[in-house]
Structure formats: structure tokens, C-alpha cells
Structure 1
Amino acid sequence: MSDKEFFNKFNLNDWIIKQCSSIGLKIATPIQSNCIPEILKGKDCIGAAKTGSGKTLAFTLPILQKLCEDPYGIFALILTPTRELAYQIADQFAVLGKPINLKHCVIVGGMDMVEQGIKLSKHPHIVVATPGRLADHLESCNTFTLSRIKFLVLDEADRLLSGQFDKQIKLIFNNLPKIRQNLFFSATITDTLEQLKEVTGKEVFLYETPSEIATVEQLEQNYILCPKDVKDAYLVQAIREYRTKNQKGNIIIFTNTCKDCQILSMTLNEVGFENVALHAMITQLQRLAALTRFKSNTVTILLATDVASRGLDIPTVELVINHTIPKVPKEYIHRVGRTARAGRGGKAITLITPYDIKMLQAVEKEINIKLTEIKVDDNEVSQIFTQISVTKSEAHIKLDEDDFYEKKLINKRKKWILEGLDPDEEESKMLKRSRKKNTKKLKKKYNNKLFISNDGNS
């Protein structure tokens, strides 16, 4: 099919075409042009395409078409790995399904389970859920059933089938009808392709973007080489230099851990870069509030862990910064995919220390592109280094006072209880592992000092 296929060529109902047109959607993207007709024929579908290529619409439109032909609830189940993506998908269904009074609900962790249970008991047409919370509902109540669903969608399928959600997904699959349409979508789906084919168990339509390059052409990809201990000062200077050329563009800064995310957010706020943080150690209401402020341009900088790396579509994001290069190369693709979406331009900068060279090479191999080195003003970095270091140290102290680590332990204990484990026993094991790890670090540090001393250089 042509890459410039219009939605009215898919034999979709007029009201669907009008809704698409009302939000500025007239021409289908390649993944939509290829997948929508096959899904409408009743085939299972596996769709792999670059971030920002319109994968969500590729399954939303055919589901709405089939729903209006035979409306009942619960008609479709969409599983996602992150809460934020679940809300975004639900919003798309709400907007496009408005003419038929579409009923939907979002089932994710961090929200009231009783309220969610009431919504499920009313049998909404569309359920968008994260695996953990949906599994909790299936185990704890019998006020709803998934036995009549017509569609099962795994969005970001590679993440859902990576092993992290195996127990919950097995439980969910045991509650699904054998006859259903399975739709699997992701930007990096190749690793789990065979696994997905086994899940469907029948003829599957497979669409993969015909490109060796995993990121879009409109994305400018750079790295900054910096000493490890001075990385935060380089980050601040990179933002300052970007802001001299672009005052309005939104920025997402990715970190690897919740603690780093919170510390860096506090540090940047103190040095004049107002931002909001998004990570797993804050409540779901705080996460939604942070995302809302960022989407509405009330705040133009978002600090986030990989909870924000999958599927989020925020058109105003023009720069993505990796404060820490991701350990898994394909996660880089998802992170930088938050910008340069739907044909727009964008820029990605990754801070690299001499210890990260191998990981940088792994990323370049994964995306089949060489990142370009850019320089920041070293003199400016040296002038702000002390201020940034002191501010970050103060943030560490404040985080201790805010009982951040106590909250983390409470969350861990909740998780252990849900998994049927003894929280006291698991906490004891965790403390033993931590002591063992710290002992190894001390030994290594001592041996290094001893080596230097014996060498006669200290």
C-alpha cells in the first residue's frame, strides 16, 4: 500500500473518519496503512516500527470499527508496561470513541483498587491496564470477566514479555478466551518475535519498518564526553547552551534510578532550572500531576526514569538528554523516541564518561548510526562545578530527611507481601546482600590503595 493512504480508504465508518479529521489526522503512516486493513480482516498482527510512527492508532481504529458493529463490554483489553502509557492510550480511545459514548477504564497501580473494581464491574468497552494491577483484580474479585474479549493488545510487547511480568501475564492469559485477535506492537520487537508467534498460535500478519536504522532521520543524535565526577556540571552547561538558542522547547532528562532522578531534580530546581520529576518512588497522583504540568508547558523540563521512555507522545519535546547512558541499548531507542515524532525534528544528547565507551559503541551498533560528539564550554563548566557539587550534596541531605529510603523500603515490603513472601525475611536478605556488597567495595578500595603504596607512588 502507498505510504500516503487516506483513512477513508480503509472502509472505516464515517464517524471514525470525522473524528480523525477533527484532531488533524488525515493521512495514515506506513504502519497504519499496512496493519489496519489486515486487522479488519480478523488477522492477528505483529507491528514493529520506529517510535513516533503512529502504532497506537494502528490498533485503536480497527478496534473501534469492530466495536461499533457489535458493542458490548469488556470488548478489548490493552496491556502496557507503564502507568503513564496506559493513561495516554485511554485518552486516545476516549477522544476517538466519543461519538459512540465509548466507556473505558484504566487499571494501574497506585490508585484506589475499590474504585477500579467498581469501574470494572460496570463492564466498560475498553480496559487499559498494567499487568500487575490487573492480575491483582483477577485474584481478588469476581465482579468482572475477560472471557468475552474480542481483542488483546500488548503495547510495547517486548517489554511486557521480557520476563518482568511473566507471572501476572500468565494469570491474565488464563482468564482470556481462546478465540480472540492478538495485536502486538513495539519499536523494538525483534527480540521477542518468535515468542509472540507462539502466543498467537495461528496465521499472523507481520509488519516491520523497512529500514536498517532504528531511529528516525529527523533526530539529531549527539554525545558529550565528560569526566565522571563533573557530569552534573556538564549537564547544567548543556541545558544553558541549549536554552540560549531555544527558550521554549521542552526537555526530558533520563536517569537510570529513582534516587538519581530525585536528587538531580532537586539540584536543578535549586540552580534555576524549574522541573518536575517522574519516577516509581512518588505516588501515582504525583506522577500524573508532574506529567500534566509538563504537557501543558507550565514546566518545560522533566526528569524521569524509564517509566517515561515508552510510548509517551508529547509534541513539544524537542530535546532528550541521557544523563546516564542506558545499560540496555534498545532502551536508548525508546528514550530518544520521545522527540522527533510524527515527522517533527528533535535532538538527543547523551553524557558519556570514559567508562561508558563500550556502552556507547553498543548503542551505535543497535541503531546503526554513529553519534556525533559536541563540545560545551569547559571554562563555564569549571565556574559552575563547585556550586553544582554543593547543591547536589545538600539535595542528598534533604532526601535523607524526607525519609526517601524509608518510603522505598515500604514499597518493597508491599511488593513482597503481594508476591506471597515474608517481608521481614526478604528485608533481612536484602540487608545481608547490601552489607556484602559494601564489604566488597571497601576491600577493593583498600587493595587499590595498597597497590599504589607498594608501587612507591604514594
Structure 2
Amino acid sequence: MDLDKNIKFKDLKLQNWLVKQCHSIGLKNPTLIQLNCIPKILEGQDCIGAAKTGSGKTLAFALPIVQKLCEDPYGIYALVLTPTRELAYQIADQFTIIGKPINLKTCVVVGGMDMVEQGKLLSKNPHIVVGTPGRLADHLESCKTFTLSKIKFLVLDEADRLLGGQFDEQMKTIFLTLPKSRQNLFFSATVTDTLNILKDTIGREVFLFEDKTEGETATVAALTQQYLLCPKDVKDAYLVELIRTYKNKDEDGNVMVFTDTCKNCQVLSIMLNEVGIDNVALHAMISQQQRLAALNRFKNNTVKILIATDVASRGLDFPTVKLVINHNVPKVPKEYIHRVGRTARAGRGGQAVTLVTPYDIKLLQSIEDLIKVKLTECKINDSEVGKIYTQVSVTKSEAYIKLEESDFYEKKLINLRKKWILEGLDPDEEEQKLFKKGKKNKRKDKKIKLKQKNKYIVDKTQ
């Protein structure tokens, strides 16, 4: 079904009170994925839906689930699984908003929070459980105060990642507890081979919807996509100047900066704060309370810059984000789509700039091949970069020292030891291997940095 501006939510066989709830949050017309999926879900069909980020996928499954729940309310009615904690909270919030008139009860089950408290909430049989696979599997193995054996709906949001292999053991534990008679809803930004195989193995008719309204491009037309070419050892100075240049043009626009590791994320955050660029960090090595606090400060515009790893690249909706910066070029091209999808959402415009070194050209070409768009060059004042290079380099070195003085590495080691134990490895042996590898890499990094410093001094004096 093609998008028709005259079609309203009431035309999708939604009840009047739900239509009013949509209007109360500013939604007048359904998006294409909502237009196609909501009627099929209400008819009882399994559904696989794929649409670009910011296309309204959450409400495409939340609205029909809440309507069906209203017709026959009981216990834990629907289970929604998602790969990240932050996305789980966001989905639960949307369910709570549209289900307010019927006093809908939701429960978020994610890692980093009190398991006992979560267990108490689950024992009260909330209508909707939203969780990450790891923590939910832990509850199913250790807690007998609730059951998922009577759920009517199973939703996998960001289904391609949930079924991509990383969560196989946890998903197996969860699926063993679910009833065979249920409605399956799988949503993602792209239809992958995994989802196609899933469609063939469900065993009954499945409605498949893929939004291709903007041709073959994987990113929205309202997004301006650029690259900023810079030497590897001066990349951080280019990042600082890029943010300053943008902020001089638009003080109100929020900025997200994506980087590859938790360590780099924390160091960048410390460095940028020290040079006067106020920001918060979001990554897996900080507590869940700190993660939620950082998100809230960013969402309510207390802080306008968020430095994050890919934990923030999927599903999260920040209407005020106008610029996404990739501090590193993603090694997996599909992750680029998810990152830049944090801006230019729901018809709004946005900009994405990727910092590219000469070593990243092939990665950039892979991304362009996937999205079928050629990135244009973004230029900033090189002389200004030269002026701040020394300050940025020194500040980043100090940020590394601060990180070493904190308990960051201790937390990381605790998490690694947990992972090794779950994989059946000897944590003491693995820790020793890591220590030896770290010493070797430290000597190598020292040589590279000395070489880069000497080269920069020679270049400046010529």
C-alpha cells in the first residue's frame, strides 16, 4: 500500500481512544510502515517489517498490540526484545504513552539494574515486558515467579542484530519458554539474509514489508552526507575544529559523535570537556544509572553533545540531533546506516560527517557501495586546525592519564573475566595473555607516536 496523505490512523481500524492518543503526541498521519503493517497485525498475521531509521517502526507494532490487549487483557501479554538497554527504555516509554488511558503496565528487564527489583516487577505480571536477551535469560534461569508461556506477541526489534549470532545462547533459552501459538513480529532497518531465512522457517503465512520509497538508497534523502579528509595523527584536532565550526553556525543543534571503543569514547569525552566542548559519554563501561543520566541530559538539552559507541546507534530517537560525526569509519558498512540514522528522522533534515584518513578510503567506498550515495567533501579551516593541534594532543594525553587513574580498567577486567567464565575459559590464564599482549602493544604504540611527533615537527619547520 502506497503512502496517501489523506489516510489517517482511524482508517487503519484502530480504536478511537488510540487515535486520540496518537493525536495527543502530535501524530496525524501514519507512516508507510505503519500503514502497511498495522492492519496485517490486527488481522493476526506474523509480520516482518523493514524501513529506514526514523520511520516509526515502534508504533507500527505497539499500536496494534495495545489494541489487542485492550480487547482481552491479562498477565504478560507481549514480550519485546531489543539488543540495547537504552532502546529497551525508549520502547517501554512509547508503550506507556499510548497505553496511558488503559493504565498499561510495562516492565523493563535489562542488565546493570537490580535483578531482585526486576524480579518483583515481573512477579506482578505487567502487560508488556521489554528487555535485552542476556538479562531476561538470567531471570528465566534463576526466577520462577513469572512465566512467558501465555504471551500473545513476540517482538524482535532490530531483529537482524538479535538473530545475527551474538545472542544465540540467550535467545535459545528464551524461545524454549515461549508458547508455540503466538504472533511473531520482526522489525529492522534492513531485510537481511537472516530475516529472509526466518520468513521461510516460521511455517505459516508471513507478511513481509520493505520500504523502498526512496529507491535503492539505504539512507533518507533529507540527510546530507559528507566526509572530512584528515591525517590520522591530527584527526582529533579536526574533530574539535569541526564541532566548533558547526556550533558557530548553529548553537541549538545537538551533535552525536560516534567512535569505535569504550576507551576511545571516554578519552574523547574527557578531552573535549577539557578544551571547552561540554559533552556526556555513553558506552558499555559505565553503569546503567550513568548511562540513563547521560541520555536524559542529552534529551532535555542540558548538554548538546553526546559521545557514544555503537550502543547508541540503533533505534534511539533524538529529534534535536542535527549533526552526526563518525570519529572512525565503521568497519561494518551497515553500522554506518544505523549511526547516521540518528539524525534526519521523521522527515526532518540532518547532516552526517565522517572523519576519513588515507587508511580508510576502502572502508568509505564500501559504505558508498552499500548506500548507493557518493559522499561529498566537507572542508574546514586547516590553519585553525594547526593552531589547536598541540593543545588537543596534550589534552588527550592527559585524558589517558586520568583514565588510568580511575577504575575504568578495573571495571573492564571484571567484565572480561565474566565473559571468559561464560565461555568456559580460565580467567586467570586469559588475564595473563591480555597483560602480555598489552605490554607488547604499549611498546609498539610508543614507537609509532614518537615517529608521528617527529614527522609533524619536521613538517612544521619546513
TM-score scaled to structure 1, two decimals?
0.94
What residue identity is the alignment partner of 1:125?
Answer: H
Distance (whole Å) between structure 2 residues aligned to residue 245 and residue 235 of structure 1:
16
Which amino acid letter does the alignment assign opposite residue 88 of structure 2? Answer: A
Contact 1:188 1:330 in 2 (8 A): no
Deviations 1:64-92 (A, max 9, x none): 01100110121000000000000000000
User: Which residue in 2 is equivalent to 1:108?
Assistant: 110
Q: Paired residue for 2:341?
A: 337
| 1:288 matched residue in structure 2 | 292
Task: Give 1:416 shift.
Answer: 3.5
Partner of 2:48: 46
Picking from 326, 341, 351, the partner of 1:347 is 351
Match of 1:58 in 2: 60
Q: Write out per-residue CA displacement over residues 89-121 of structure 1, whole angstroms, 9 at most, x where no aligned residue.
A: 000000000111101100000000000000011
Q: Hey, what does 2:272 align to over in structure 1?
A: 268
Residue 183 of structure 1 deviates from its aligned partner by: 0.5
Gap runs ≥5 in structure 1: 449-458
- The answer as to 2:410 corresponding to 1:406 is yes
- With over 3 angstroms needed to count, the CA separation of the structure-2 counterparts of 1:437 and 1:377, relative to structure 1, is closer
Moved more, 7-16 or 111-120: 7-16
In structure 1, what is the Cα distance between the partners aligned to 2:371 and 2:2?
26
Partner of 1:131: 133
Change (3 A) 1:60 1:198: same
2:80 is aligned, of 78, 81, 84, to 78
Determine the C-alpha separation between the residues in 2 that align with 1:131 and 1:432: 33
Deviation at 1:191, TM superposition (A): 3.3
Q: Distance in 1 between matches of 2:67 and 2:358?
A: 53
Q: Percent sequence identity over matched residues? A: 73
SS in 2 for 1:124: coil
2:235 corresponds to 1:212: no
Distance 2:60 2:322 in 1: 25
Pairwise mapping of residues 17-56 of structure 1 onto structure 2 (< 5 A)?
17-56=19-58
Q: State the shift of 1:434 in Å.
A: 4.9
C-alpha distance 249-260 of structure 1, shift in aligned 2 (>3 A): same
Deviations 1:19-59 (A, max 9, x none): 11100111000010001111111111111111100000100
Which residue number corresponds to residue 389 of structure 2? 385
Aligned pairs (5 A) from 1:420-439: 421-431=425-435, 434=438
RMSD over aligned CA atoms reads 1.7
Q: Which amino acid aligns with 2:148?
A: L
Q: Per the alignment, in what secondary structure is the counterpart of residue 56 of structure 1? A: helix
Instruction: Give the distance between the partners of 2:269 and 2:438, measured in 1 at CA.
Output: 26
- CA deviation after TM superposition for structure 1 residue 283, in Å: 0.2
Q: How does 1:53-202 map to 2 (within 5 A)?
A: 53-202=55-204
Matches of 2:441 and 2:249, distance apart in 1: 45
Q: Which runs of 5 or more residues in structure 2 are unaligned?
A: 452-462
Structure 1 letter corresponding to 2:315: G
Q: Give the structure 1 partner of residue 455 of structure 2.
A: none
The residue type equivalent to 1:285 in the other structure is: Q
Quote how far apart the aligned CAs of 1:12 are. Answer: 1.1
- Tell me, yes or no, if structure 1 residue 241 matches structure 2 residue 211: no
Match of 2:14 among 12, 15, 18: 12
Distance 1:433 1:196 in 2: 40
Partner of 1:320: 324
Q: CA separation of 1:134/1:20 partners in 2, compared to 1, >3 Å: closer, same or farther? A: same
Match in the other structure for 2:377:
373
Q: Secondary structure at the match of 1:303?
A: strand
| 1:223 is aligned to 2:232 | no
TM-score (norm 2): 0.93
SS in 2 for 1:315: coil
Counterparts in 2 of 1:293 and 1:26: CA distance versus 1, 3 Å: same
1:375 deviation in Å? 0.9
Work out the CA distance in 2 between the residues paired with 1:428 and 1:114. Answer: 34
SS of aligned partner of 1:222 = strand
Question: What CA distance in whole angstroms lies between the structure 1 residues aligned with 2:177 and 2:431?
Answer: 33
